Every structure is written in structure tokens, then in C-alpha cells.
Amino acid sequence: MKKLAFIASIVVCFSGIVSAQTTTTTSAVVDQNLGEIEFDKIVQEFGEIKQGQSVTATFRLKNKGKSPIILSNVQTTCGCTVPVWTREPIAPGKTTEINATFNSSGKMGQQNKVITIYSNAKNSQTQVSIVCNVVPADAPAAAPAPKN
């Protein structure tokens, strides 16, 4: 009886090892076949803008993977930034754009607005951002940078 219990425990252990290896191998193959997002830039810097001004950043993304990508959601850090994105699948090798408009009304100083993109891609959660410095509407225009 003890031999039977010992053999049964070995079989259970072995089947668990085989199952774990199969799962790891399967997920590795699935990862290789997923779409993959690549952005042309991850930060759009606008420098100084006047309070109340709106700016729109365009982020181009390319599907570098082997399967279509579906953008399930695009979220921003606050209601002052509004994203617009395609609901259509992005085929391998194709590009699309995500536009995000930041409205600086009620904002002041350095701003970093993060846009989070959720998808079925290998890199399923990616982020881009809009960076600017909001100055009072009546502030004089910033002097251009000196040229060397």
C-alpha cells in the first residue's frame, strides 16, 4: 500500500511538472504571435503655453507584431486631456494615430499629462505623455533660445 501511495505521488508530481512546462511553452509561442506597439515618440513637449490654451499631440503607433492589435481603451490622468483613437483593428505592419488634446484652463505651472493605452498587444499597457509649462494668459511671450 505504501508503494502504491509513493508511486501515485511521483505520478502527480511529474504530471505537474509536465503541465507547467507545457503552459510556459504555450505562452511563449502565443507571445511571439501577438501584435506589438511601437510609438514614433512617447513624449510630446510643448514648452510654454498660455493658461486657457489647448494643444493637441499626435502619437503615431505601428503594429510591429504578427497579429492585429485592438486598442480597448485609452485613458488620461484627468478630464483636461481628451484622447481620440481608432476602434478598428490595426493590422501587422500598419500604423494609426492617437490624438490627445490638453486644455490648460485652470492649470498653472509644469504639466505632465499621461495617456495610458490598453490593448491586446504583447505590450498590452503602454504610456505616452504631454509635457508643457502653463504660464498666465497675460504673461509676455517667452524669449527664443539663444543661437550659438
User: What does the domain layout of the chain look like in residue ranges?
Assistant: 37-135
Q: Which three cell numbers stand for residue 72?
A: 480597448
CATH class of 37-135: mainly beta
Identity of the residue numbered 103:
N
pTM: 0.74
CA-wise closest residue to 104 among 127, 128, 135:
135
Q: What is the pLDDT of residues 27-48, one digit of tens each?
A: 455 577 899 999 999 999 999 9
Using alpha carbons only, what angle is made at residue 74 by residues 71 and 77, rounded to the nearest 5 degrees? 160
Q: What is the pLDDT of residues 120-140, one digit of tens each?
A: 999 999 999 999 999 999 877
Check pLDDT > 60 for residue 14. Answer: no
Bridge pairing between strands 43-50 and 125-135: parallel
